[in-house]
């Protein structure tokens, strides 16, 4: 099967892209190649682009999506990207309309404009759990409506990384659009691969050497400041290494203990994660290169990324759909080439139609 061409918007350091194409290993398991080829990748963060370009054969274009002519994008079968959700607004019109509070809010509409212009067969959008409740739960239905107006049948699901062999409790919404209604009917989101009893524990990805390096420990001044406002802190910040880690963010480089980012307690001292540990928590393979940018930039890029292993499971589900459709088409072609009687063809097509009706009713 020929690889499907992919355009990647807001690609960051490449977590979504790596998971999509596969061919990497994590915690002793190999995630095989999937039939996708990135033909276009863009991000406006030069530091993320450096990391991206160190890890992929194709290159990330450093540019603001708003400055790109949509017609200039190469033709593609799949559009992927994670757009900011903090900046939506709901107008008081009748009916209400989706708008944006600032420039970041426009990025969602840029993705929609690409879909309208290029009409790829599929799209995959990723976002934080909060998008479901944004603007008093008014924004998300309108986001789906905008995708539908672009010509797509849309499914979405909230997935937790810890359900898929990743040592992190990270919930993200995946929105998948299908231009063909048949693809929409047959697609199934991936099923969890790890149940409560066998979640991957944080301690499996920690570096014991970091426990011996003073660099990664918070100063006594930072600890004293934390203790003064301890009642205001998220109680889940001190991590149980026998469980998956809480969600890591782009703020892990901060030396302050007053945020809600997860930390470790080693011999009664507070330690932050190293950039490589953060990458491991996100399920990046050990050979994923980070060192071309500062540690602060590494934290930011990794914290904003989509966990590659989680994205691989999405990619694998989409691959199954594509392969099943290709197999069905080959059967039709074979039947036609062998001059099968109209009666047999009608029986075969009726059986397929019956299965589709069952799926619709379900």
17 contacts 339 by C-beta, under 8 angstroms: no
Q: For residues 37 and 30, what is the distance between their CA atoms, to the nearest angstrom?
A: 19
Task: Extract the tokens encoding 163.
Answer: 């359900």
241 contacts 316 by C-beta, under 8 angstroms: no
Q: For residues 338 and 347, what is the distance between their CA atoms, to the nearest angstrom?
A: 16
Peptide bond into 96 cis (omega under 30): no
Count CA within 13 A, CB hemisphere, residue 247. 15
Place of tokens 């992927």: 80
* Angle at the Cα of 130 from the Cα atoms of 101 and 244, rounded to 5 degrees: 145
Catalytic residue from among 11, 48, 60, 85? 85
85 is catalytic: yes
Q: For residues 136 and 264, what is the distance between their CA atoms, to the nearest angstrom?
A: 35
Count CA within 13 A, CB hemisphere, residue 343. 0
179 contacts 122 by C-beta, under 8 angstroms: yes
What three-state secondary structure class fits 328?
Answer: helix
Task: Extract the tokens encoding 91.
Answer: 């107008």
Instruction: Give the residue numbers marked as catalytic.
Output: 85
């Amino acid at each position: 099967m020929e690889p499907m061409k992919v355009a990647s918007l807001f690609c960051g350091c490449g977590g979504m892209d790596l998971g999509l194409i596969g061919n990497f290993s994590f915690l002793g398991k190999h995630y095989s190649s999937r039939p996708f080829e990135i033909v276009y990748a863009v991000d406006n963060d030069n530091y993320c682009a450096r990391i991206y370009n160190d890890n992929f054969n194709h290159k990330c274009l450093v540019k603001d999506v708003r400055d790109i002519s949509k017609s200039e994008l190469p033709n593609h079968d799949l559009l992927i990207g994670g757009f900011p959700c903090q900046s939506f607004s709901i107008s008081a019109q009748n009916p209400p309309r989706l708008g944006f509070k600032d420039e970041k809010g426009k990025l969602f509409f840029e993705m929609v404009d690409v879909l309208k212009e290029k009409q790829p067969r599929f799209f995959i959008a990723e976002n934080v759990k909060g998008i479901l409740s944004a603007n008093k739960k008014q924004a998300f239905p309108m986001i789906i409506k905008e995708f539908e107006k672009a010509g797509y049948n849309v499914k979405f699901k909230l997935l937790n990384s810890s359900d898929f062999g990743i040592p992190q409790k990270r919930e993200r919404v995946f929105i998948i659009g299908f231009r063909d209604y048949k693809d929409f009917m047959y697609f199934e989101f991936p099923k969890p691969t790890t149940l409560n009893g066998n979640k991957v524990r944080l301690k499996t990805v920690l570096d014991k050497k970091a426990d011996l390096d003073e660099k990664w420990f918070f100063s006594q001044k930072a600890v004293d400041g934390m203790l003064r406002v301890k009642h205001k802190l998220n109680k889940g910040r001190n991590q149980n290494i026998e469980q998956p880690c809480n969600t890591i963010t782009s703020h892990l480089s901060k030396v302050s203990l007053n945020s809600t980012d997860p930390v470790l307690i080693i011999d009664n001292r507070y330690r932050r994660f190293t950039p490589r540990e953060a990458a491991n928590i996100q399920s990046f393979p050990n050979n994923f290169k980070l060192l071309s940018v500062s540690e602060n930039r590494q934290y930011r890029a990794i914290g904003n990324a989509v966990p590659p292993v989680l994205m691989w499971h999405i990619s694998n589900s989409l691959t199954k759909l594509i392969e099943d459709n290709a197999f069905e088409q080959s059967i039709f072609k074979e039947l036609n080439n062998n001059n099968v009687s109209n009666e047999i063809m009608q029986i075969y097509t009726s059986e397929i139609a019956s299965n589709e009706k069952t799926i619709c009713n379900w």
